[in-house]
Structure 1
Amino acid sequence: MARIAQQIRKAYALCAQMLVEGRAELDELDDMGFDVNLSVFTVSQAATVAGVHPQTLRQYDRVGLVTPRRTGGGARRYSLRDLDRLVQAQHLSQDESINLAGITRILALQEENRQLRRQVRRLRKPAGSSIFAADADGDIVEVQRSRRARMWRHEIHAHAREITAGPAQSLPPAIRPAAEAATMVVWRG
């Protein structure tokens, strides 16, 4: 079980790196079957992948800009959604010179638009294309039936060793970018 957890952690690390580099979008990862709300990353991991100081993450949490979930012991855990908000906040702050209050409002509007676009996509799908399940907190969530997502996850698991150790050129084209990103990310358990 720990081995599977490690493979899943590596897959999420690849997704995080691709988000930060702009090679993937949150909705794409969601459509592929990743739980973008799964709290996977510690403060140091999130700071490393996003290229920010851990204190920046703590400040953003205090002002409510990027609010991660907490473990039972109170430690912060960041999700792909949190990392996406962090990257956007950094861009708006540093490149656009927008203050934290403005960033908070912009990110709230972007999230509202994203949710509306997602709802429109869901309403356009034929009946019976979704199933429902319980998430880790016991809440009911919609799970899209996606052959592409299942195939992609299967490829990730089938080539987990190659992703971290082997040359990226030997991998299927669909996961080659993720494998290249894996070599740039170092995680400390």
Structure 2
Amino acid sequence: MVQFDDPKDRPVYIISVAAELVGMHPQTLRQYERVNLIKPYRMPGRGEGKGGKERETRLYSERNIEQLRYIKQLTQEYGVNLEGVKRITLMQEEQEKLKSEEEKRRIKMQQDLERLQSKIGKLEAKIKEEPES
């Protein structure tokens, strides 16, 4: 079984339940998947589906449900089309990535500063120990 670091990423809802939770038709969720707005976990199922392919069951996580609610808000409350939703979500993902990189740089700079302060302290202590000529 696949392990998920964040409990919000654990796939638990079948498509009908996910659709009901967000107030959408299951076909809408399939459409969002086709246009890459959402990516549910696909669990191998029993038997064959269309075209002889192995049947798969879509399972949606709590994070997927949050994404679907956000998409619904953008499309219904703000009138954003699906291409606009894609752009907005891509920009938000990029922003999160930049924030993460910035935080990593900040942590590294803080560590560098602490290391330099430690070296300065050691040098000052050495200077005090040396006899004056």
When normalised by structure 2's length, the TM-score is: 0.60
Residues 1:106 and 2:88 are matched in the alignment? yes
Distance in structure 1 (CA, Å) of the matches to 2:104 and 2:63 = 19
Distance in structure 2 (CA, Å) of the matches to 1:91 and 1:102 = 13
Indicate the percent of aligned positions where both proteins have the same amino acid.
38
Work out the number of aligned pairs and report it. Answer: 95
Structure 1: runs of 5 or more not aligned: 1-32, 128-189
Question: Which residue is 1:64 aligned to?
Answer: 36
Distance 1:55 1:75, change over 3 A: same
Deviation at 1:102, TM superposition (A): 1.0
1:67 counterpart SS class: coil
Residues 1:83 and 2:55 are matched in the alignment? no
Q: Is the 8 A contact 1:43 1:78 kept in 2?
A: yes
Q: Is the 8 A contact 1:85 1:107 kept in 2?
A: no
Deviation at 1:103, TM superposition (A): 0.7
Deviation at 1:38, TM superposition (A): 2.0
- More RCO (CA 8 Å, sep 6+): 1
When normalised by structure 1's length, the TM-score is: 0.44
Structure 1 or 2, whichever has the larger Rg, is 2
Distance 1:116 1:81, change over 3 A: farther
CA RMSD of the aligned region, Å?
2.3
Distance in structure 1 (CA, Å) of the matches to 2:33 and 2:93 = 17
Q: Deviations over 1:60-112 (max 9, x none)?
A: 11221112120012111112222222111111111111111111111111122
Structure 2: runs of 5 or more not aligned: 46-55, 112-133
Deviation at 1:119, TM superposition (A): 4.3
Q: Deviations over 1:162-187 (max 9, x none)?
A: xxxxxxxxxxxxxxxxxxxxxxxxxx
Distance 1:123 1:79, change over 3 A: farther
Q: Pick the structure with more helix per residue.
A: 2
Deviation at 1:51, TM superposition (A): 1.8
Question: Which residue is 1:116 aligned to?
Answer: 98
1:76 counterpart SS class: strand
Distance 1:84 1:124, change over 3 A: farther
Deviation at 1:123, TM superposition (A): 5.5
